[in-house]
Amino acid sequence: GYGADQIQHLEGIDGIRHRPQMYIGSTDNVGLHHIVFEVTDNVLDEFVNGYAKTLSVTINADGSVTVADDGRGIPVGKMKDKDQSALEVVFTEIHAGGKFDRKAYTTGTGGLHGVGITATNACSEWLEAEVRREGHVWTMGFAQGRLTTPLSKLGATEQTGTKITFKPDSAIFSTTVL
Ligand code: 0RA
């Protein structure tokens, strides 16, 4: 039977990597762009709420993409009732609503789940997040959606914002050329 255990097993990152089409629509060039838009949608949310003024999207020489903004920065504090930072949760869990559901206002593509930047992370060979917030630069790294570099606090800064660099995973996409 297809019991609760099996369903549980395929939640989150594993679920997205097992059936990417269900979350990003396709694994062709359209799906490839979808994981970029999942990030820029978050930045547009910061913009419409009056927090971000600039957004840059850069396709790097190695095929990775950098999306940078000067919004509030993804929260880095520990989540209530959890042993993880908000930053880690934003990148590793599928959000069904509440404060961290940033896509409640969008329809998504063809009624797909608004899985947000967790889908981008799950479909990336690697992803690096750099946050400027609460007086410091913070970083965290992932490979195929799994945490590889825990949250680390770097130098001081007065700025706020988020810079996300990710390499679309050729194990998922039929093309990784944007
Ligand atoms: C969760 C909560 C808040 C902001 C963000 C996520 C956020 C996500 C992205 C993704 C790219 N740029 C972003 N900037 C912000 C709210 C933060 C707060 O309440 O201060």
Q: Among 15, 54, 20, 14, which Cα is nearest to 35's?
A: 20
Residue 40 Cβ < 6 Å to ligand 1? no
Q: Give 74's Cβ-side CA count (13 Å radius).
A: 28
Across the chain, mean pLDDT equals 89
Residue nearest to atom 7 of ligand 1 (CA): 74
Question: Which is higher by pLDDT, 98 or 108?
Answer: 98
Residue 74 Cβ < 6 Å to ligand 1? yes
Average pLDDT of span 12-31: 96
Q: For residue 75, report the distance from its CA to the centre of ligand 1, in Å.
A: 6
Percentage, residues of the chain above pLDDT 90: 80
Condensed to tens digits (0 to 9), the pLDDT of residues 145-176 reads 999 999 999 999 999 999 999 999 999 999 99
DSSP state for residue 62 in the 8-state scheme:
T
- 58 SS3 class: strand
Q: Is the pLDDT of residue 113 over 90?
A: no
Q: Among 32, 13, 172, which Cα is nearest to 90's?
A: 13
Residue nearest to atom 6 of ligand 1 (CA): 74
pTM: 0.90
Residue 42 Cβ < 6 Å to ligand 1? yes
Residue 37 Cβ < 6 Å to ligand 1? no
Q: Is the pLDDT of residue 46 over 80?
A: yes
Confidence at 111, pLDDT banded by 50, 70, 90: very low
